[in-house]
Amino acid sequence: MKINAHWQRHVKAWRESGLSQADYCRQQGINPKTFSAWARRALPIDKNTPLDVVSVQVAPSPPTAAAEAGAIFLRLAHGVQLELSTAVSPRWLAELLRCLA
């Protein structure tokens, strides 16, 4: 089997699964970084497929040392919280959010 065909099958299965890339990779025992690279190039995204809209609530929080230093906080499922520098590029942050979706 060609490597490309192998990854195309995985990408197709992932897209049909409804799982996040991270969850799919965990279930399949696949390196998430490798999978993400193949997912970007293996199959074109169907432009006719409707996108899901995710509701986001923004609430002010009391200033903290990290906030004063210019940090971005992302709160994810299962109580996971990421603290990022405000110096990260918008493209990198967008890719991170795509990977976490």
Domain boundaries of the chain, sorted by first residue:
1-47, 52-101
Q: What is the mean pLDDT of residues 68-86?
A: 77
Q: Rounded to whole angstroms, how far apart are CA atoms 69 and 49?
A: 40
The answer, yes or no, to whether residue 1 has pLDDT greater than 60, is no
What whole-number distance in Å separates Cα of residue 39 and Cα of residue 21?
9
At residue 33, what is the residue type? Answer: K
Token output for 99: 């990977």
Express each pLDDT in 33-61 by its tens digit. Answer: 988 888 887 656 667 767 677 787 777 76
Q: Is the pTM of this model over 0.85?
A: no
pLDDT higher at 32 or 46: 32
Sign of CA dihedral 40, 42, 44, 45: negative
